[in-house]
Structure formats: C-alpha cells, structure tokens
Amino acid sequence: MITKYYKLIITFIILFMATVSLSLAWSDSLTFDEVAHIPAGYSYVAKHDYRLNPEHPPVLKMLSGIAILPLQPNFDWTQNFWTTSNNYGEYGQWDAGRHLLHQSDNNTDLLVFWTRVPIVIISLLFGLFLFYWGKKIGGIITGLFAIILYAFDPNVLGHNHFVTTDIGIAAAIGIAFYFFLQFIKNPTWLNALIGGLALGIAQSTKFSAIILLPLFATLLIIYPLIKYYKKDQSRLKTAGLYITKGTFSIFIMFFTIWIIYIPVTYNMTADVLPPITEIKGQPNKYVRDKYLTQFILTTNKYSATRPLAMYTQGLMQVLSRVNDGNVTYFMGNVSSEASRWYFPFVFIAKQTLIHLFFYTIVLTLLVVMLVRGGFSLFTQQLQTSLNKFRTFTLNRFHEITLGIFIIFYSYLSITGNLNIGFRHLFPMMPLIYILTAKTIIDSYKNLRNPKRKRIIRSIFITLIATLVAIVISVYPYYMSYFNILFGGPKNGYQYVTDSNADWGQDLKRLKIYLDQHPEIDKVRISYFGGDDIHNRLGEDKYILWWDSKRPIEPGYYALSTFFIQESIYDKTKVYDDSYRWTQEHKPIDQVGTSFLIYKIN
C-alpha cells in the first residue's frame, strides 16, 4: 500500500522540509559564523579573490555569493579588511561581514535570506538522493525510511538554512561514499571518473572530507584481495586495475579541486597569501606547518598553482584549529580542552528518542549478527571459518563500509580537541540514516511469522507518526533541539551552548517580544550572534551589557545563554566579573531558546 503512494509521500516530505527551512531562513537571525561566510562568498564571485575566510573551502560560499549577485549589494572594496594585509584571513572576514550586512545600507534580511536559499536547496536535493540510495540497495521502503530519518531529524532542519558548511559536507560525503561503493562493485573508468569528481567536490566543501582518503585507499586494496574470481581471472591483475583506476580517481579529485579554486583565485596577486600564511602558520608548534608553509609559498608564486596554495592554506588552518581547541561550555565546565564525553552526550541529547530507538535496534541487530557469526566461525575448521567470513564480508560490504566510517569518524570526533556542536557530526549522519534504514528493513523482510510482521509493522508506523508529530511540535526551535530527557529546546543550554543552543538565532524574536511588551522601555542586552543590535532594536531601546559591568541596575535584562553559562562557570572569573548574580534571580521569561529575560527591582 505504502509503495503504491511513495511518490506522494516523498512530495509531502520535500514540501514540509522546504516550507520549514525557508520560513526559518527568514525568521532566524544572523548566526555567528555566517558573518564571516557571507562576505567571503560574495567576494569570491564579485572579485575572484580568496583572501577572506580561507579556513573553509569555497563551494557553498560561492553558491551563496552567486545568489545575491543580482541584488548588487553595496560593498566598499577600499576598506582595511580588503586592502590591509594584517586584516586578511581570519581577522578581516568579520569586519567585512559587519560592513556588508550592517553598515552599507543594504537590506540585511533580504541578503541573508537569499544567501541561505542555496543551502536549503542542497538539503532538499540531498534528501531525494538519500531516498534514491536507500531504494537502490533495499527497495522503496528502505528509501522512504532513509529520507524520513533525514528530513525529520531536528538537527538537519536546524542547520539546513544557515550559510555554513555543515549540511553541505553531509551531502558531499554521502554522495562521495555512494559513488565509491559503485566503483568498488563495478570498477569501470567511468565510475572512477565520477568517484574522483565526487571526492574533489567533497574536498572543496569542507576539509573534514580528507578523512575519506585513507579509508577509501584501504578498502580499495582489501576488496580486490577478498572478492571471488572466475577461473580465468587473475587476482593480482584485478588488484592492479583497482589501484590504477583508484589512482586515476585521486588525480581527478585534485584536478577538480584545482578547477573549483580557479574562479575564486585568478584575480589574487602573489602578495595576498604570504601575510595570511605568516599569521596562521605555527612551524614552531606543529612541525607539519613548516612543510605546509613551504609548499604554500612556493605554489603561490605562480597563478596556475595558486589554487593548490589556497587549498593547502585552508587545510593548515583547520588542522591547527582542531589541535588548539575552542573554549566551550559543557556540563558546568568552561575549557578549551575537549571532553571525551562531549560528542557522545550531544548525540544522545540532540536526537529524538525515536531516532535513538531505531539506532539502538540497529546496534542490537548488528551485535547479535556479529556474535552469532563469530561463534559460528570458532566452532568450525579454520578454512571453513575463513570462507564464511569472506562470504559474509562480501555480502555485507555496503553495511560494513558504512559502519567502519561511522566508527572511525566517531573516534576522531571524540578524541579530537574541537567541541563546538552537534553540527560537527553531520559528516557521518547520512551514513547512519542509510545503515539504519537498510538494517531494520532487511531484518523485517527476513521475518517468517506473519503475525509478528503485522505487529512490528504497526509499531513501526506508530513510531514514524510520533516522530513527525514531535518534529512539527517543536517548530521553530530545531537548531536548539534537545529531546525530552534533557528538558527540550528551552533547557538544553544548561548542558551545552554554542551552535547546540545559542548561536545568535533569536534576536528577531527578541524584537517581536519587546514590541509585545511596551512596559519594557529599555532592555540591557548581552547578545552572542551575528545580527546587529542597533539596527534590529533601535537606538533608544537597549543598553549594551556584559558580565563584568557594574553596578547591576534596576530594570530589564535580555542575556544570552551562551554568555551566561560561559561566565558563570568560568573558574578564572571572580563573582563581580561574572553573571553569577543571575543565579540569585529567576528569569521572568525566555525568548526563543537563547535569551533569558530578567527583571531586577
């Protein structure tokens, strides 16, 4: 019955995603990171110069920049952020963003909305791709289940309308993975070409895609060694063909990176990059930076190789940032040292209970399957065991490969030193959706008892309906979503902040709140985000506030949960330099999820 109307179901899902995402693209205020990404993307397509925000590859920012070209926004290219070398790279991008979005008489809301539209479109197209992928490996129901897990994940809906790289890299890695598996199963030159293109686009979307290379290289060597052959086929010759075509894919990947970077670098002169490299390189701290810096400065000398210099510059910056960490609030502690519990916690806290239930079922099924398989192997002769293991691996190569990446990426995230949000788990999420859909639907198909199948089908449909209801009910608080075990979207800031809960998305909602409460003649505001308080609220409506500002005045306060938590739990701050005084007062209201409203008498 469901398969008969699957096109109608997909249409509903995509329309739901589009409606929610576009409405949030308009109603969510400018987030912190978008201030850097938006002017960078515009400068790439308007000036073909990559000096702003080189830490992130250009693909998504270029698309956002193209979206506002017809608006011809005012942008003064004579400002210091563009002309002074000390302002290039990390420093100038923020000044450029404030200039473009808040200081040049542009329509900020219109600019921000249109820069977000390409990200929304990518998220919709990727949803269709996930359905296609699931349908191809497991049938229509598997495809539908995969797109439902994706489209009704609050974290996807919370980030698929921001000008950042998070949803883009999820799509790019998912697509690259799909075409890699296509190549593994059918190693033609065409599949090698498409796989190389997909890898190149992924590397030009976000640098976390680089972890695909060692994994793909390893699997490329292993698969031809374990696969079955006909009598007239040579194992070594086939392995050689795999390696040869895999090498060709790598060449295509680098060629794709070079092609993508050309339009954003061909107007750059050789004197732009060295100041950025000198500021960001840390050869005395990280030995690799010494060699990366040499490569950057050498390839920067020639316009033909400058795209590779810019790619390497960004890679060096992001590696250093991962090593250096980021000051983060987590469970009553503020530190730049990452906690090993951070990502496991945010994964559990920020997924719906329905998602977690499905993931638990999959984990249980996989563990049972491995235990049974392992017991079977150890109770038979070695040769028989090896043959069974080989057959099992080949038959389940798709699922095993996805599982290996998920485990590998989880390990890197947990042991890394950069804890700044669930969004950094997006690269593995599409693979989790596909693995979950295929494992559960395959297990259901293998059931022999009709009565049990009917019961499970009823439970499954009930869970999906509940998931849809949960997601609709928490609109518009998807970015700050926490499941009910952790108090829901309104209370998640108590555990973690930053892009998990408070990224600056609620300043427009604060404006609406103040308009609805005329008794608040002036609010003392502490805001973490990218929007402009002066333009949004009006000059006479606010007083800027911060944690060490004294004395505490009578009146109304709108304080960012990000600043509250980082100030209260920063052990280096004394009481009078912190927001610990807020613990003595109960908020009278909460605007959105990121502003607490206090009234001090």
The residue type of 463 is L
pLDDT of residue 368: 84
pLDDT at 278: 78
Cα–Cα distance, 240 to 20 (Å, whole number) = 49
Q: Is 476 helix (H, G, I), strand (E, B) or coil?
A: coil
- SS3 helix, strand, coil % of the chain, rounded to 5? 65, 5, 30
Cα Rg, the chain, nearest whole Å: 26
Burial of 367 from C-beta contacts in 10 A (0-12 / 13-18 / 19+): exposed
Q: List own/partner pairs for 101-105 with CB under 8 A and 24 or more apart.
A: 101/30, 101/35, 101/38, 101/39, 101/530, 101/532, 102/532, 102/535, 104/73, 104/74, 104/75, 104/76, 105/74
Residue 68 and residue 40 in contact, taking contact as beta carbons nearer than 8 Å: no
List of the chain residues with pLDDT < 70: 1, 85-91, 232, 279-285, 373-386
* Distance, CA of 46 to CA of 56 (rounded, Å): 18
Whether the upstream peptide bond of residue 551 has omega within 30° of 0, thus cis, is yes
Per the CB < 8 A criterion, the answer to whether 406 and 170 are in contact is no
> How far is 257 from 205, CA to CA, in rounded Å?
10
Residues 181, 133: Cα–Cα separation, whole Å: 11
Residues 62 and 43: beta-carbon distance below 8 Å: no
Contact 439, 362 (CB under 8 A): yes
Question: Which pLDDT score is estimated for 285?
Answer: 67
Q: Residue 313: which of 289, 329, 331 has the closest Cα?
A: 289
**pLDDT of the residue at 380:** 63
Q: What's CA 232's distance to the chain center, in Å? A: 47
The tokens for 460 are 């499954």
pLDDT at 275: 86
Calpha distance 86→92 (Å, rounded): 8
pTM of the entire structure? Answer: 0.94
Quick check: helix, strand or coil at residue 589? strand
**Is the bond preceding 476 in cis, omega lying within 30 degrees of 0?**
yes
d(CA 568, CA 574): 9
Can you tell me the distance from the alpha carbon of 291 to that of 309, in angstroms, rounded to the nearest whole number? 12
Alpha-carbon gap, residue 476 to 26, rounded angstroms: 11
Structure tokens at 465: 């309906």
